[in-house]
Amino acid sequence: MSRLDLSSIPVRTGTDYPDPFAEAVNGRSRQALGDAGGITQFGVNLTELQPGAASSQRHWHTHEDEFVMVVSGELTLITDEGETLMRAGDCAAFPAGRPNGHHLVNRGWGTALFLAVGSRIKEDKATYPDIDLLFDGSTGSYTHRDGTPYPKRDPSAAPAANLPIEEETLEPRVYRADHGEQDGAERGPTERGPTERGPVIPGEAR
The residues binding a second copy (CB under 8 A) are 1-4, 6, 33-34, 36-42, 44, 46, 64-67, 69, 71-72, 77, 79, 81, 84, 86-96, 98, 100, 102, 115, 117, 119, 121, 175-180
Query: What residues contact 69, with CB distance under 8 A and at least 6 apart?
Result: 89, 90, 91, 114, 115
Which one, 90 or 136, has the nearer CB to a second copy?
Answer: 90
CB of 82 to a second copy, least distance (A): 9
CB of 52 to a second copy, least distance (A): 21
What distance in Å separates the CA atoms of residue 146 and residue 129, rounded to the nearest whole number?
Answer: 14
Beta carbons of 201 and 111 less than 8 angstroms apart: no
DSSP result, 51-113:
TT-BSSSSBEESS--EEEEEEESEEEEEETTEEEEEETT-EEEE-TT----BEEE--SSS-EE
Which one, 10 or 37, has the nearer CB to a second copy?
Answer: 37
Which one, 26 or 76, has the nearer CB to a second copy?
Answer: 76
CB of 183 to a second copy, least distance (A): 15
Give me the half-sphere count of Cα atoms (radius 13 Å) on the Cβ side of residue 36: 19
Which one, 26 or 111, has the nearer CB to a second copy?
Answer: 111
Q: What is the DSSP letter of 184?
A: G
CB of 71 to a second copy, least distance (A): 6
CB of 77 to a second copy, least distance (A): 6
Report in angstroms the alpha-carbon separations of 122 from 34, 105, 135.
18, 27, 12
Which one, 58 or 153, has the nearer CB to a second copy?
Answer: 58
